[in-house]
Structure 1
Amino acid sequence: MAASSDNPRHIAIIMDGNGRWAKERGLPRREGHRAGAESVREVVDACKELGVEYLTLYAFSSENWNRPEAEVKALMALLDRFLDERAKDLMRQDVRLQAIGQIERLPASTRKRLDKLISKTADNKSVTLVLALSYGSREEIVSAARSLAADAAAGKIRPEEIDCSVFASRLNTAGIPDPDLLVRTSGELRVSNFLLWQISYSEIVIVKKFWPEFRQGDLFEAVDEYRRRHRRFGAL
């Protein structure tokens, strides 16, 4: 599928189903996460082909810290491996990496890798890949409210000056356009504390496939569905 002015500018994906994919095959959950890494490569390639400017992937939620310690360690190891192995590809593809979430909760070695690759790819312009890591939208919104409350208490801003654009400037995604299209895999019908403010007017496409099965063609189909919809933004 070629780039088109009708394509979404920003696609966000809830990458769901790694564990169930592995369970169906009698494999440990970590194998599902490992298999899902290939799907990440596929969608980044697809976004580049489509001319999509931003791709945000829900890689690790704030709630995921409550998973068994062994699984969390496996996920962090997989993230480390992704950051090490994909560095050359991101540079070759002109992909800029960014991250949102409570990054300070990540292991120090992972943060170091992440910061290094974000800095290395900062001048790339083809696609911006945003990894949501240790991310929770409610926590993000509360943090933004606290920031504005502190500034109001200090006299730096008047309450009546706070509008949607000011509030959005305090979110993790400041400077990033809201997603036009939200894709969720595995057939689940929920948004799981992901970009609650930002997806207010996003078109939502649910894909029944588990994330490790998701390929470029599946993203192209989701974009085709997006193109067929008429976005009203609350108007007639």
Structure 2
Amino acid sequence: MAEKWGTENLGDMLFREGLISNAQLEEADKRQKESGKFIGQILVEMGAVTEGVKMSFLRKKLGYDYISLENKQIDPLCLTYIPKSFAEKFHLVPVKMENRTLVVAMDDPSDLSVMDNLKAIVGVPIKPVISTSADIDAALKQYPEQEEEKQAVRRAASPLIKIIRRLVFFFFAFGLPIILVIILYQKSEVFKEFMRPITHEGGSFSFDVFFYTMLGGSLWIIIVYEINSLVFEKSGKEIPEPLPAEEPFKE
């Protein structure tokens, strides 16, 4: 469990531990008001502390677990718990469900205001963990596109897809068989003999030949229709790979 530090932010804690100077803390506070970034992230950007020092402090002093997100595939269901805009704003990402608790990798879990907002949004118990800024940035890219953008793309492409689908269907259902029949009739004596009762070239009409020809044509149209539907309407979600085991943090 993380140790309780009242209303102190990470910058105050680092200053109290002698890891940054008062001037660095004041400059970080000033930049935080201007940018809205986490003070720990600002201190790293300033060069006041390294990413390793910040992570080590959060892990050892505050008791937060570290998780590596490198090459980690996040379950898409977990991403639905936290809106993308919120995750990007506060630099955090939901990682996995663990015993009905949502594990959330954060840049700075010590920020109580962010934790309060997060609990109100998620609606399930939360376990905050820490991860590097680079890993969180990479994990945030696993969020899917905004649904509005997807719908706009679908609406724009829908008429063209319908036209292409119909053209493909009519070609394979009717055009291709007609072309094949013409070619076979011209090139194959066996096929010409088979078709003779229907074409009335020196033979009596055969209902059996006509029936099986129509039956075969109907089955062909059904097969083409089903394949056409699969090609243009198939949709599905990829099954995410199992999450790899957590790696120990190395300073």
**TM tier, smaller:** under 0.3
Relative to total residues, which structure has the larger strand share, 1 or 2?
1
TM-score (norm 2): 0.21
Normalized per residue, which structure has more helix? 2
Q: TM-score, normalised by structure 1?
A: 0.22
